[in-house]
Amino acid sequence: MAYNIEAAFYAAMNMLDKRVEFRYIPHTYFKVNDKPVHFVGERGHKYTETIIDGDTKSGRFIIWYVLGEEVVGFCTVGYQNLHLYLWEAMKLLILP
């Protein structure tokens, strides 16, 4: 449903001759032991490397999925809204 809403928005903006770029990046949310887990990226995407930032023992960390030199997805564990900033940076192609 989120894809359809976003596609309709971009279709309407194009009809109004507004220049917009369509970049739909899927987001999946679930909880594990009351810790929020946000996965951003295509399910089952190919990647060559994973990088873990943070301390896994504390329950707050980020897993980056990298294909070559490009970040193709990430998973935040234990953070509430961090995925929103990273998701927007991914859409704008300004991830570090």
- pLDDT tens for residues 24-68? 788 888 898 889 999 998 888 899 999 999 988 888 999 999 988
CATH of domain 25-91: 3.30.390.30
Q: What are the Cα distances from residue 37, in Å, to 49, 59, 65, 69, 82?
A: 20, 10, 15, 24, 11
Whole-structure pTM value = 0.69
In whole angstroms, give the CA distance from residue 90 to residue 84. Answer: 10
In whole angstroms, give the CA distance from residue 32 to residue 77. Answer: 9
